[in-house]
Each structure stands twice: as structure tokens, then as C-alpha cells.
Structure 1
Amino acid sequence: MLRNTEIRVYRPTDQAAVIALWRACGLTRPQNDPVKDIARKLKVNPEWFLVAENFTGEIVGSVMVGYEGHRGWINYLAVTPTQQRSGLGRELMDKAEAILRAAGCPKINLQVRPDNVQAVEFYKRMGFAVEGAISLGKRLEHD
């Protein structure tokens, strides 16, 4: 654990700070309401939604972990810009991976926007590889 930073399970009182973090990291998009995304996560393995809190009580990182029995998924991995490259992102990913390993997950998938070169390089350093797959999506509920 990074000095003065605790990784813990998300609490409802974290919502505004987590959304502000996601906005600061450029993770929010108009088609995804972050309030609804959080509510959806809290219905499925809410204990797999982690935040990093520093010694002053500020939320400085987050990660949502998912698993449907075939592949694990990482969503909303974020580290406040002032703490990027500090090891906190790696620590959050290590926790996420430990959760998935304990659940028997054989593989982790995640999606990164093609123009987010910094994120792609981060994940490559952690052993991820760019795969020859196209991501398709279909909205079942419009935010």
C-alpha cells in the first residue's frame, strides 16, 4: 500500500468525489451517466468497487471490477492526475486482479479508447496486450 493511502470498498458518501475523479481523468462520456453507472455496480458485487483514499480523506483512485464467469472486466480505473505514475494505479490493478483470481477468473479484459496512449502503455507495462478484437456495444438503456 502506498504510504498514506488506503484502498477500501466504495461507500455511498464517496459518490461526488468519485465522479469528480472520473471527470478529472477524462473517463466520463455524455452517453454514460456516472450516477447510474455507480448505481448499477452497487447491484452486482458492490464489494468489488474500490476506491483509494488519502490521509486527508480525499478520493484519489478508483476501480470497478466485474466477472460474469467467463472473463473479468476492469472499468473506471482512475488515479487523480497529480498522483499518476506514483504506483497507485498498479496497486489498484493488483487488488482487482487478486479479487478476480480468488473468484477463479481465467482472463481479464478491459477497454481503452484508442487515443488514450498513456493508458495503453500503462496496461502493457502490467502484462496486458492489445488484442485483435473489435469492441461492439448496444445500449439497452439510454442514460
Structure 2
Amino acid sequence: MIVDRLPEHLCEDAVALWEDAGLTRPWNDPRADLARALAGPSSTVLAAVEEDGLVGTAMVGHDGHRGWVYYVAVRPSHRGRGLGRALMAACEQWVAGRGIPKMQLMVRTGNAGTRDFYERLGYAVQDTVVLGKFFDPRRQARQSG
């Protein structure tokens, strides 16, 4: 398995993987998220690629103070083989290599399995609440509804 920056020809495969994994939401355009991450110097999308193609992804970036990771997904047929751990290790190396001292991530309420995965990797619940606001009222209404 090779973990490296997502090649352009696998972008649609990445979006399909995210959709299959239930990571997309109607109020977020995964293609726009992907394009922004690949375009910026403070973010990228890492891909786990094997002979049979794309098997995992992780979007990673930083805000100058903290690293963030999103869209961590592994193809169901390849789960349980350490790919998620390998992707997270690559994300941590990417962030640490830019001098950022901490990685953060968000897990949806009720997603205990995913939360357990991250806790096994040493991540802990922080004493914070995440607040958000869309600038487009139509997107805000879709999220609230």
C-alpha cells in the first residue's frame, strides 16, 4: 500500500468512497471540499492506493495552530487491516512536519465506533463545543432541518 497525495484521476473515486462511508452531508459539497483541500498550501488529501485502486483517504490541513483531519475513509473490503491507522499516522506526520503541535478532529454524536477508533490512537475528548454558521441561509436551513 502506498499513502501519498491523492492523484487527480482518483478524485471521483474519493468522493464515491466518502459517499459509501456516509461521510457526506447534503449541505456540504464533497467535490468543493476536495478541490479546496488540494488547492491550498495548508491542506491536502492523502490516499491509500493498492493494486486494485483507491482503498482509503484522509483530508488533512492546519490553521497555523492546530491540525485537522476529515474524510477518513477505508473501503469496507479493506477494513481491519491497519489502513485507517496508516492514514492517520500519515496525517500526523504531515501536520507535525509543518511545525503544528496538535491534531484535532470531529466525530458526529452517536458515532461510537469511530470515536473508539480515534481513542485507540490516543485522541481524547476535549472540553470544547463546536459551533458553526453557514453564510448561505439555504445551507443553514438544510443543516437545521
Q: CA deviation at 1:54?
A: 1.2
Q: Scaled by the length of structure 2, what TM-score is found? A: 0.88
- Aligned to 2:82, which of 78, 87, 112? 87
16-25 or 43-52, larger mean C-alpha shift:
43-52
CA distance in 1, matches of 2:84, 2:95: 17
* Range with greater deviation from structure 2 (59-68 or 132-141): 132-141
Is structure 2 residue 68 aligned with structure 1 residue 73?
Answer: yes
| Counterpart residue number, 1:102 | 97
TM-score by length of 1: 0.89
Which one of the candidate residues 30, 47, 71 is aligned to 1:51?
47
Structure 1 unaligned runs (5+)? none
- 1:126 is aligned to 121
1:27-78 CA-partner distances (Å, limit 9, x unpaired):
010000111111111221387311111112x211001111111110001111
The structure 1 segments of at least 4 consecutive aligned residues displaced by more than 2 Å after TM superposition are: 45-48, 140-143
One-letter amino acid of the counterpart of residue 92, structure 2: E
Q: Which residue of 1 aligns with 2:142?
A: none
Aligned CA RMSD, in angstroms, stands at 1.6
Percent of counterpart pairs with the same letter?
Answer: 39
1:24 to 15, 20, 25: 20
Q: Assess if the C-alpha contact under 8 Å between 1:48 and 1:99 holds in 2.
A: no
* Aligned residue pair count: 138
Does structure 2 conserve the Cα–Cα contact (< 8 Å) formed by 1:52 and 1:62?
Answer: yes
Confirm or deny that 1:62 pairs with 2:34: no
Residue identity matched to 2:72: L
What are structure 2's unaligned runs of at least 5 residues? 140-145
